Amino acid sequence: DAGVTQSPTHLIKTRGQQVTLRCSPISGHKSVSWYQQVLGQGPQFIFQYYEKEERGRGNFPDRFSARQFPNYSSELNVNALLLGDSALYLCASSPLGGNSPLHFGNGTRLTVT
């Protein structure tokens, strides 16, 4: 079975630009979560979606937004990029959302110059 897939794997953007990251969950999983992992730190929660509805939002500015599609895939958008947005962006899927165990993809490495 295919795991969580994320695209692109690497991305380089300039300050002020906008970026869209994509995630396909494990087949049968209805929930997608997004996390930001800065080098040397643990992942930080950004969003969780379940059945296309936002279930939870972390302490990130409104420049960060996301959505979930009817096929349960998801996009994370970041506007007006800052140097501090450089990080590994991880998508995780789970069967039911909430506190279900997370299954992570390998992430998108975003570099903002």
Partner 1 sequence: QKEVEQDPGPLSVPEGAIVSLNCTYSNSAFQYFMWYRQYSRKGPELLMYTYSSGNKEDGRFTAQVDKSSKYISLFIRDSQPSDSATYLCAMSGNTNAGKSTFGDGTTLTVKP
Positions in the binding site for partner 1 (CB under 8 A) = 4, 31, 33, 35, 40-45, 48, 50, 55-56, 58, 90, 92, 94, 97-99, 101-107
Closest C-alpha to 65, from 57, 43, 73: 57
- Shortest distance, position 14 Cβ to partner 1, whole Å: 24
Closest C-alpha to 107, from 50, 46, 30: 46
Look-up of token digits 């992992």: 37
- Shortest distance, position 88 Cβ to partner 1, whole Å: 8
Beta carbon nearer to partner 1, 5 or 75 = 5
CB atoms inside a 10 Å sphere around CB 49: 22
Beta carbon nearer to partner 1, 14 or 42 = 42
